[in-house]
Structure 1
Amino acid sequence: MRMVLSFFLLTVLFAWIPGSAGLESALALKTSLLANYDKSSRPVKEASSAVNVDFDISLRQIIDLAEKEQAFRMNIWLRLYWDDEYLTWNATEHGGIDSLTIRSSDVWRPDIFLYNNIAENYGAIGTVTDLTVTNAGRVTFLLPAIFTSACPVDITRFPFDKQDCVLEFGSWIYTGNLLNISLVKSSADLSMYTQSEEFVLKGAPLERKVAVYSCCPDPYVSILFTLQLERRSFFYIFNMVLPCIILMILNVFGFYIPPDSGEKLGFFITILLALVVFLQVLSDSLPATSTTTPQLGQFFAATIALVGFSCLASIVVIRLSYNSPPSRPLPRWLRLLLLRYLARLFCMNTIADEKHVVHPVKEGVEIVSLTDSKEGTNQSTPSSTHDLQLACTEMLRHIRNFIQQCEEKKQEEEDQEEWKMAALVLDRALMFVIGLGSIIVCLILLQ
């Protein structure tokens, strides 16, 4: 039993000693490297030499693109590589150690900033992770970060728009002669990218930019990271465009409601109020700008204009259907336009074939015939008394007045009926006009 316990202790001891020795060697090496290290100075031995920083990005997730604030927020992994001439050693002299992990706050790091940052951290790269350095002085700094940048949003074709959000990374104090930034690849790494529910990522190119500013004569090097986004429009089509199209269809078929039902004008006004609510919801989600109007907003505005025209047309049709007495005859040009040409054009032949020309009342015939009867009676009965003649004259006057009133009433009824028929034809014509206008609006503004 003692032999087994002794063997176990010896095994643990021999296994622990190399690791302990390696750990002590790493600590001693790190202490030696950082003893006289100045992290505020560029890690080059020649002052005229530039530090070459290799820049790479891995895109993780698009968090949000706020159109109203014109702010773009994303999660990315920065990958920076450079050579530090003061962090080199001979691996054979330090127990074969060829790499070390050092706190990033203990050594020099390139002051890479996000130029178009709008967050509270000023766009500076933090020190949340350590960095690794090889015995040749090659430093690898891998940093996860969440950046919020300004992104001017063009909402002209919203929700069928495409946006290009550009992030510009560069040094804040070092010129290109002191800190040279180069690209590892021409595009960002998308192997770990999480698909966005709102946008489709079409590309993520990287571009090196050299610019000279008015403040400084030397050039500054920066990296432009462009995210090419295309909006997924199904959400807006399903929740806004489709209900609006349904309201447009109801607007067209609203002309089938009879003008004398009393519900036609109220039906159009209800559709108009629904469209105004949809337009208000849309305006709340877009930036308050007067330079451009989104395509979806133009679609709603055109639909509201069509429904407003339907309300005006309904008012005109109702007014024609209830032409207050004494009614005037339908003008000849309007009779020809509505009851002949348009009625036949819209297959309302039963109205077009009816006779609507009102002839003048032939009162003279009846009066003459009655007068002739009276004269014949006088000739046949010359012995009639004067009272009988007066009674016959009074009776003829009442009959004539009654006939005249009946004819005037009939004339007014025929004129009123003619106005109603003209209103029905006009109503059908306006329905086709609104239907054609709705189709044109959909074809132009929904492509």
Structure 2
Amino acid sequence: ISLLHINYITSETERRLHLKLFENYNMKVRPARYWEEKVMVRVGMTLSQLVSLVNTNAWTDYRLTWNPEEYDSIDVLRIPPNKVWRPDIYLINNNDGQFDVALYVNVLVYSDGTVNWLPPAIYRSSCSIEVAYFPFDWQNCSMVFRSYTYDASEVDLQYFLDDNGKEIHEIVIDENVFTENGEWAICHKPSRKNVKEDLYEDITFYLIIERKPLFYIINIIVPCILTSVLAIFVFYLPPGAGEKMTLSISVLIALTVFMLLLADRVPETSLGIPIIVNYVMFTMILVTFSVILSVVVLNLHHRTPSTHTMPNWVRKVFIHFLPKYIGMMRPKQEEPLTKEESNDDTFIRSFNGWQPGGEYFVRKINPDLVLPWRGRCESTVQLQRLPNTDNYCLILPPNLKSAIAAVTYMAEQLKKQDVDDTMTSDWQYVALVVDRLFLWLFVIISTLGTLAMFLDASFNYTPDNPFP
């Protein structure tokens, strides 16, 4: 019962104090004893999330002072904000047109006239976005707070004080309620007071944040790098495999899908091209060239002597000169020499002087080649010695002449087929050399392009001096 009695007395005392303070109080009048006096307003900011802030305002209202000893040691009152004078301090660079705070919490009024107001708010400020190094970028999002109607001669904006009475020149992070953002990391959070030419003061809070690129590395950059590797291996696939164009077109379609996915992630601005878009476009250009060059390689691979004649410079460059520099020496064809093949060569060399026709001339004919025929062909084959020479003339009958002509024709056709096969093989080898050349060129260009772009982004550090 005594406890209830004490609470009742305290509430009654607070009611009397409230009536006394607001007896002749006008909330529309600035709390200044005379016109030239400035009302000092201390502005601070506490960050709970990257989407939620607590704007802290403090000022002194001489009309709201009392002696705590006369009112049962009451040192602080909690008063609705619409009953006291408040400085009209708002976010100037507001982006959504909502200037009010999220919740009109009570104002804390102390016995010495100090008024503290800590309303929670979600501020959406307009910031210029630099997308050149996206997703390895950092942004400077500034929030400018000033009074709409009071200039510097009426309201003096100052930094908020900490518990030790020192000015706080940065955004305070409430460790108890702060939730780390999954996309942004806070690098700097300073504040600075500015006096404009129109004598209006403002306090600017700079929130310099750096993007966490892991999401974009895993979901976009790594797949693009793997896709570019596939584009390189298009040139490692043999032209005769039949899937060269299919692989090239499939890689190009995959990159097109990546571009569509990337369009929803990149900030919409035309002031710059993000580095990730440059890389995807660079990869797409490489893949497009791989499709075009694959057509060239297939064209070379399917050439024949009946449609194309190989120029001498092509033979010198792509068959004799270039292969040794790209690790593609052509294997030599080794034909083992057996005893039977040696006898056949002797037989062929014995008839080197023969010409198709009715008479064949043999230089120093081997008698062993003629003697086995004497039993069967003695009546039809005549061997005459040419006058004044050691050569013999072999006279053949008509039926044997036609047989030799047919064999000669078949030999010529086989020889022509061998020449055609050799030329076709040369064209196919040229296609392989060109394919390998493009492979090395794409490896070098893709590696250098990737390193140049992402090494440039790695030097995009946040500035040591946070002020622009």
Calculate the TM-score normalised by the size of structure 2: 0.80
Contact 2:353 2:360 in 1 (8 A): no
Match of 1:334 in 2: 314
User: Is 1:181 the counterpart of 2:149 in the alignment?
Assistant: no
Q: Shift in Å at residue 397 of structure 1?
A: 6.5
Residue in structure 1 matched with residue 390 of structure 2 by the alignment? none
Aligned to 1:117: 94
Alpha-carbon deviations, 1:270-328, whole Å to 9, x = none? 01111111111111222333331101111111111111111111111110010145143
Q: Which residue is 1:220 aligned to?
A: 200
Aligned mate of 1:349, from 329, 339, 343: 329
Alignment partner of 1:304 is 2:284: yes
Residues in 2 aligned to 1:350 and 1:421: alpha-carbon distance in whole angstroms: 8
State the Cα distance separating 1:103 from its structure 2 match: 0.8
1:315 aligns with 2:295: yes
Query: 1:370, CA displacement in angstroms?
Result: 2.7
Q: Does 1:247 align with 2:210?
A: no
Separation of aligned partners in 2, 1:28 and 1:343: 103
Q: Secondary structure at the match of 1:266?
A: helix
Counterpart mapping for 1:23-422 below 5 A: 23-62=11-50, 74-121=51-98, 123-125=99-101, 128-184=104-160, 185-192=168-175, 193-212=178-197, 218-351=198-331, 369-371=355-357, 373=359, 380=384, 402-422=410-430
> Where do 5+ consecutive residues of structure 1 fail to align?
1-11, 63-73, 213-217, 356-364, 382-387
Letter in 2 for 1:102: I
How much has 1:134 moved relative to structure 2?
1.4
Secondary structure at 1:55 match in 2:
strand
2:366 — aligned with what?
none
Aligned partners of 2:429 and 2:235: how far apart in 1?
Answer: 15
Mind listing any 5+ residue stretches in structure 2 that lack a counterpart? 161-167, 335-350, 363-380, 386-395, 456-468
One-letter amino acid of the counterpart of residue 58, structure 1: T
- Find the aligned partners of 1:144 and 1:60 in 2 and give their Cα distance: 9
Structure of higher CA gyration radius: 2
Counterpart-to-counterpart distance in 2, 1:104 and 1:225 = 24
- Indicate the SS of the match to 1:425: helix
Whole-angstrom distance in 2 between the partners of 1:401 and 1:374: 17
Deviation at residue 261 of structure 1 after TM alignment: 1.5
Whole-angstrom CA distance in 1 between matches of 2:333 and 2:39: 97
Following superposition, the deviation at residue 332 of structure 1 comes to 1.7
Q: Which has the higher helix share?
A: 1
Look up the SS of the partner of 1:42 in the other structure.
Answer: coil
In 2: Cα distance, 1:20 partner to 1:320 partner: 102
- Residue 201 of structure 1 aligns with an amino acid whose one-letter code is I
Change over 3 Å in CA distance of 1:311–1:354 after alignment to 2: farther
CA contact (8 A) 1:44 1:86 kept: no
Instruction: Provide the rounded CA distance (Å) in 2 between the counterparts of 1:297 and 1:253.
Output: 23
Q: CA separation in 1, counterparts of 2:249 and 2:102?
A: 58
Does the Cα contact within 8 Å between 2:130 and 2:139 map onto a contact in 1?
Answer: yes
Offset at residue 250 of structure 1 (A): 2.0
Residues 174 and 422 from structure 1, CA distance in 2 versus in 1: closer, same or farther, beyond 3 angstroms?
Answer: same
Amino acid at match of 1:112: I
1:8-45 CA-partner distances (Å, limit 9, x unpaired): xxxx1x43333322211111111121122111111112
Q: Distance in 2 between matches of 1:119 and 1:191?
A: 25
Measured in 1, the distance between the counterparts of 2:102 and 2:398 equals 122
Question: CA separation in 1, counterparts of 2:45 and 2:401?
Answer: 114
Cα offsets for 1:61-81 (capped at 9, x unmatched) = 01xxxxxxxxxxx20111111
Question: For the residues of structure 1 that align with 2:333 and 2:259, how far apart are their CA atoms?
Answer: 47
For residue 36 of structure 2, what is the amino acid of its counterpart? S
Indicate the SS of the match to 1:446: helix
Distance 1:111 1:375 in 2: 123
Q: Tell me, in whole angstroms, the C-alpha distance in 2 between the residues paired with 1:367 and 1:374.
A: 7
Question: Matched residues in 2 for 1:52 and 1:446: separation?
Answer: 50
Q: Is the 8 A contact 1:295 1:445 kept in 2?
A: yes
Instruction: Pick closer, same or farther for the CA change 1:400–1:250 going to 2, 3 Å.
Output: same
Deviation at 1:255, TM superposition (A): 2.0
Write the letter of the residue equivalent to 1:188.
I
Q: Distance in 1 between matches of 2:433 and 2:102?
A: 75
What residue identity is the alignment partner of 1:284? D
Task: Report which stretch shifted further, 340-349 or 149-158.
Answer: 340-349
| Identical residues among aligned pairs (%) | 28
CA distance in 2 between partners of 1:24 and 1:336 (Å): 110
Q: Offset of 1:346 from its aligned partner?
A: 2.0
Cα pair 2:358 2:401 within 8 Å, conserved: no
Cα deviation digits, residues 220-266 of structure 1 (max 9, x gap) = 11111111111111111111111111122222223222211210111
- Aligned position for 2:464: none
- In 1: Cα distance, 2:444 partner to 2:413 partner: 47
How many residues align? The count is 402
Q: 1:108 to 1:125 in 2, by over 3 A?
A: farther
Tell me the CA shift for residue 95 of structure 1: 3.1
